[in-house]
Amino acid sequence: GESVGLHLPTLSVQEGDNSIINCAYSNSASDYFIWYKQESGKGPQFIIDIRSNMDKRQGQRVTVLLNKTVKHLSLQIAATQPGDSAVYFCAENTGGFKTIFGAGTRLFVKA
Amino acid sequence: EAGVAQSPRYKIIEKRQSVAFWCNPISGHATLYWYQQILGQGPKLLIQFQNNGVVDDSQLPKDRFSAERLKGVDSTLKIQPAKLEDSAVYLCASRPHSSGGSSGANVLTFGAGSRLTVL
């Protein structure tokens, strides 16, 4: 069935270091992927997205990499800050704009 | 623009009681979603509306959950009777109708959620 999963449930990084959050997906028909950030007590918030015809997309301090060969997605955060502490979800869109979320990775940023 | 509004923020009920959650999406957003997020897990899609029609409710436990979006704007999600395992945050999200070539149009905007505790 459809599933989106993550390699690590928790990631702890030092402030100023780069963070890499990984995600595996299983539906080869998914054509659009999104990373969301969820802070405590809030709903998920859009960070960055990528279409399946791309392998890299950059935003402000964030980069998403897509490897369709191995069905792998990653989110890179440069110069991680305390405000980046949150749970990060990758999500995939299948036909009909159905968005499926993975289990999430909790990022801790140590000062 | 105003975000997605949800109420109540918190609700505590006993099992077998009923509860209803309300969502007002971003103005003009045709697609509305209800997700269930159990503690420590990712959001799970319950139901997806396009205007006032149901697009996908395959994961909605229809024996106890119901949802409606009668006028194609705000929506309610009801649980009756509630079970202990229904304890979760219920998230509402909305999205514009047309995706076009803009990837941003496929992004969901979420409300803060309604946290349900069933005792």
Task: Look at A103 and B42 and tell me if their CB atoms are within 8 Å.
Answer: yes
pLDDT, tens only, A43-100 = 999 999 999 999 999 999 999 999 999 999 999 999 999 999 999 999 998 766 788 8
Residue A7 or B21, more confident:
B21
For the cut 90, the answer to whether the pLDDT of residue B80 exceeds it is yes
Contact between B106 and A32 using a beta-carbon 8 Å cutoff: yes
| Dihedral (Cα; A71, B40, B104, A26), 10-degree rounding | 20
Whole-number pLDDT of residue B96: 81
Q: Are B56 and B49 in contact (CB under 8 A)?
A: no
- Residues of chain B contacting A93 with CB distance shorter than 8 Å: 106
- Rounded Cα distance between A96 and B55, Å, is 8
Q: Is 50 exceeded by the pLDDT of residue A6? A: no
* Higher-scoring residue by pLDDT: B72, B101: B72
Report how far Cα B53 is from the mean position of its chain's Cα atoms.
14
For the ranges A33-42, A97-106, B105-114, the one whose mean pLDDT is highest: A33-42
Burial environment of residue B85 by CB neighbours within 10 A (0 to 12, 13 to 18, 19 or more): exposed
* Per-residue pLDDT at A23 exceeds 60: yes
Q: Is residue B70's pLDDT more than 60?
A: yes
Measured between beta carbons, the chain A residues lying within 8 angstroms of B31 are: 97
Residue A2 pLDDT grade (very low, low, confident, very high; cuts 50, 70, 90): very low
Q: Provide the pLDDT confidence category of residue B75 given band limits of 50, 70 and 90.
A: very high
Say how far apart CA A98 and CA A94 lie, in whole Å: 6
Q: Does B67 touch chain A (CB under 8 A)?
A: no
Residues of A in contact with B95 (CB under 8 A): 97
Answer yes or no: are the C-beta atoms of B113 and B5 closer than 8 Å: no
Min distance A45 CA to chain B CA atoms (Å): 7
* pLDDT computed for residue A1 by the predictor: 38
Which pLDDT score, from 0 to 100, does residue A3 have? Answer: 47
- Nearest chain A residue to B42 by CA distance is A103
User: According to the model, what pLDDT value does residue A96 have?
Assistant: 65
- Does residue A4 have a pLDDT over 60? no
pLDDT digits over B2-60, tens only?
799 999 999 999 999 999 999 999 998 999 999 999 988 999 999 999 988 999 999 99
pLDDT at B3: 93
The model's confidence at residue B77, banded by pLDDT at 50, 70 and 90, is very high
Q: State the count of interchain CB pairs (< 8 A) between A and B.
A: 59
